[in-house]
């Protein structure tokens, strides 16, 4: 039930770097020689097709690691969504330490599971289910990302303010949709009273459980 707390890469000569919002940490194709861990803020990883189509493949949270690649090059571009601080560790450092390795494995496994879930979203879910899943993903303390607390609206399970930190375009590119479809679905959720839109990137969930019912996982 308890969400696994992400380990953090302490000391070990880790260099802390600050980034502004919408800064690029590295580009797809850059040399991959360091390990990064997000210390604070939000970062997205995305890939581009030559004709400009973009897919956001991961949305990183504090504790998540990135920058590793099977080859010599980065397979994604890493761009901040908000101000962010990033720990950098040299790969050699990591390889030498059992402890760092263990933490690394934990992080990678966690992110892998999220990628699996996201593949289901991209491959099998409708537009509404995608947007609902995305919003649920942003709710703090969901039951480990798996589902909602249950269809038991005791009292506190309702209402939640979300700060998206993403444009409609970024959301669309994450969900494999177009900007217009995202906008339509969001408007529709508003019309149905499931959410309230305070500002375009500030959304209030009126009924979390109701939203969770729309994710396709029930």
Partner DNA sequence: CGCGAGATTGATTCTACTCAACACTAGTGG
Partner DNA sequence: CCACTAGTGTTGAGTAGAATCAATCTCGCG
Query: What does the binding site for DNA look like in residue numbers (CB under 7 A)?
Result: 126-128, 167-169, 176-184, 186-187, 197, 199-201
Burial class (CB in 10 A: 0-12, 13-18, 19+), 200: exposed
3-state percent helix, strand, coil for the chain, nearest multiple of 5? 35, 25, 40
Greatest alpha-carbon pair distance for the chain in Å reads 55
Q: Strand 160-163 and strand 202-205: pairing?
A: antiparallel
**Which parts of 42-61 interact with a copy of itself (CB under 8 A)?**
45, 47, 49-51, 53-55, 57-58
Establish if 33 lies at the interface with a copy of itself (CB under 8 A).
no
Q: Which is nearer to a copy of itself, 42 or 111 (CB)?
A: 111
Establish if 69 lies at the interface with a copy of itself (CB under 8 A).
yes
With CB cut-offs between 5 and 8 Å by kind, which of a copy of itself, DNA, none does residue 126 bind?
Answer: DNA
* C-alpha–C-alpha distance, residues 135 and 208, integer Å: 9
Establish if 104 lies at the interface with a copy of itself (CB under 8 A).
yes
Phi and psi angles of residue 117, each rounded to the nearest 5 degrees, phi first: -60, -40
* C-alpha–C-alpha distance, residues 187 and 165, integer Å: 18
Q: Which is nearer to DNA, 68 or 179 (CB)?
A: 179
The binding site for a copy of itself (CB under 8 A) comprises: 4, 45, 47, 49-51, 53-55, 57-58, 68-71, 75-76, 94-98, 101-102, 104-106, 108-113, 115-120, 122-125, 144, 146, 173, 175-176, 216-218
């Amino acid at each position: 039930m308890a969400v696994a707390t992400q380990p953090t890469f302490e000391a070990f000569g880790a260099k802390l770097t600050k980034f502004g919002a919408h800064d690029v940490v590295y580009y797809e194709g850059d040399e991959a020689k360091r390990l990064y861990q997000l210390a604070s803020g939000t970062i997205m990883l995305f890939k581009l097709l030559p004709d400009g189509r973009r897919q956001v493949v991961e949305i990183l949270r504090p504790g998540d690691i990135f920058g590793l690649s099977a080859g010599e090059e980065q397979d994604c571009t890493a761009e901040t969504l908000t101000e962010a601080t990033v720990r950098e560790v040299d790969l050699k450092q990591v390889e030498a330490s059992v402890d760092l390795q263990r933490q690394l494995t934990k992080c990678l496994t966690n992110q892998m599971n999220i990628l699996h879930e996201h593949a289901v979203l991209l491959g099998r879910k409708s537009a509404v289910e995608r947007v609902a899943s995305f919003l649920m993903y942003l709710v703090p303390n969901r039951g480990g990302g798996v589902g909602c607390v249950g269809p038991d609206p005791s009292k506190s399970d309702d209402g939640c303010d979300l700060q998206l930190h993403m444009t409609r375009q970024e959301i669309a590119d994450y969900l494999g949709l177009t900007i217009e479809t995202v906008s339509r679905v969001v408007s529709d959720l508003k019309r149905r009273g499931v959410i309230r839109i305070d500002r375009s990137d500030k959304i209030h969930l009126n009924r979390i459980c109701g939203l969770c019912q729309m994710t396709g996982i029930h």
